[in-house]
Amino acid sequence: MTSPDAGAGPTPPAGGGGRRRFLARLSILAGAAGAAMVGLPVVGFLLEPLFRRVPPAWRDVGPADAFAPGRTVEVAFTDASPLAWAGITARTAAWLRREPDGGFVAFAINCTHLGCPVRWVDRASLFMCPCHGGVYDAAGNVAAGPPPAPLTRYPVRVRGGRVEIQASAVPIT
Ligand code: FES
């Protein structure tokens, strides 16, 4: 005659399940700690440039004589603080105008709403943002739409007959 427990396998010693659970949790904890020790420095290395304060940098955008008075043109330059892996995305742009008196004014190309690139429409003398209908007047002031602030202006100087723009981080409010 067989007992009712036959075939149920050996009975674990009392307290064995608790020890097994404890060791399993301990190994999970040790694994997580090891992953954090290896992973956190890598994550920190990748994210650090995003939080670093970007010092402004002067960028040459061409000879002053190349810009006709009264005209607003797009000029391209390298970002003030390009990331090592940025590639072509390190290139950015601004709208540069030579005033009739010979001075220069430069506007950021990024809309102050969500950063879309604005376009200068010569016939209307307006900067238009294609994303949500933002409109800026020729001085960069908000004329219509959701932008919360005027277009950011970059400092401009002329050195040795060449125009330089003081580039900085992407100006999004
Ligand atoms: S990003 Fe220009 S209006 Fe929204």
Shared-domain flag, residues 136 and 79: yes
Quick one: 48 and 108 in the same domain?
Answer: no
DSSP reduced 3-state for 9: coil
Number of domains observed in the structure of the chain: 2
Q: Which of 113, 97, 100 has the alpha carbon at shortest distance from 153?
A: 97
44 shares its domain with 123: no
Protein residue whose Cα sits closest to atom 1 of ligand 1: 114
In ligand 1, the atom with minimum distance to the C-alpha of 114 is 1
Q: 25-48: per-residue pLDDT in tens?
A: 999 999 999 999 999 988 888 887
CATH of the domain at 109: 2.102.10.10
Give the sheet arrangement for strand 119-121, strand by strand.
119-121, 126-128, 135-136, 142-144
With respect to residue 92, please indicate whether it lies within any of the assigned structural domains: yes
CA–CA distance, 103 with 38 (Å, rounded to integer): 54
Q: Tell me, yes or no, whether 66 and 115 share the same domain.
A: yes
Residue 38 and residue 72 in one domain: no
How many Å lie between the centroid of ligand 1 and the Cα of residue 113?
Answer: 5
Q: How far is the CA of 128 from the centre of ligand 1 (A)?
A: 9
What pLDDT was estimated at residue 79? 82
Q: Is residue 31 in some structural domain?
A: yes
Q: Residue 146 CA: which ligand 1 atom is closest?
A: 3
Candidates 170, 152, 165, 168; CA nearest to 58 is 165
Write out residues with Cβ below 6 Å of ligand 1.
Answer: 111, 113-114, 116, 129, 131-132, 134, 145-147
What is the atom index within ligand 1 of the atom nearest the CA of 132?
A: 3
Structure tokens at 152: 């950011």
pLDDT tier for residue 49 given thresholds of 50, 70 and 90: low
Question: Per the confidence metrics, is the pTM higher than 0.85?
Answer: no
Asked if 22 and 104 sit in the same domain, the reply is no
CA of 90 to the centre of ligand 1 (A): 21
Residues 70 and 130 both lie in one domain? yes
Domain annotation covers residue 139: yes
- CB-CB neighbours of 125 under 10 Å: 11
SS3 126: strand
Nearest ligand 1 atom to the CA of 133 is: 3
Given a cut of 90, is residue 83 above it in pLDDT?
Answer: no
Decide: 165 and 96 in contact? Cβ < 8 Å. yes
Domain that holds residue 34: 17-52
- Per-residue confidence (pLDDT) for residue 127, from 0 to 100: 98
pLDDT in tens, 116-157: 999 999 999 999 999 999 999 999 999 999 999 999 999 999
